[in-house]
Structure 1
């Protein structure tokens, strides 16, 4: 099994109440039920206010590297990524669990 972690940082001047952010969050919240490769799905706002903290996180699992690639290529995932690209940057980690 592979865990896929993504940490998002809103761009300078962008806040959680920005309509683009709300739409991006809604798009990611819907992925859990839309992509069959996902074995687990969590996404939420970070509650930490430390200076090095990121703003939003995705934590999910898939069976293997092929399933991960299908998830990454899925149109619903690509649509969500396209929305987030407008107002945030992110880092990822994929590892075997």
Structure 2
């Protein structure tokens, strides 16, 4: 199994209450039902107020490297990530477990 973690940081001046940000969060929420490779799917807003904290996180798992590739290339994933490119940056970690 491969764990795929993504931490998003909203760009300066962007609020999670903005409609475009909420639409981006909804787009990620809908991925679980659209991409069969996703064996585990969690997402949510950070609940702490610390300077080093990121704003939004995705925690997912897929079976193997081929499944990760299919997930990343899936049109629904590409569309959701494309929305976030407009208002956030992110870091990822992919590891086997």
C-alpha distance in 2 between matches for 1:48 and 1:93: 21
Instruction: Give the TM-score taking structure 2 as reference length.
Output: 0.99
For each residue in 1:14-64, what CA deviation from the matched residue of structure 2 results, as whole angstroms up to 9, or x when unmatched?
001111101100000000111000000000001111100000000000000
Aligned to 1:66, the other structure's residue is in SS state: helix
Q: RMSD value over aligned CA atoms?
A: 0.4
C-alpha distance in 1 between matches for 2:96 and 2:88: 26
Question: In the alignment, what sits opposite 1:26?
Answer: 26
Aligned to 1:81, the other structure's residue is in SS state: helix
C-alpha distance in 1 between matches for 2:48 and 2:79: 28
For each residue in 1:1-21, what CA deviation from the matched residue of structure 2 results, as whole angstroms up to 9, or x when unmatched?
000000000000000111110
Structure 2 gaps, min length 5: none
Runs of 4+ in structure 1 displaced over 3 angstroms?
Answer: none
Aligned to 1:14, the other structure's residue is in SS state: coil
C-alpha distance in 2 between matches for 1:47 and 1:77: 25
Query: Is 2:17 aligned against 1:17?
Result: yes
Structure 1 gaps, min length 5: none
Question: In the alignment, what sits opposite 2:73?
Answer: 73
Question: In the alignment, what sits opposite 1:37?
Answer: 37
Aligned to 1:42, the other structure's residue is in SS state: strand
Query: Is 2:47 aligned against 1:47?
Result: yes
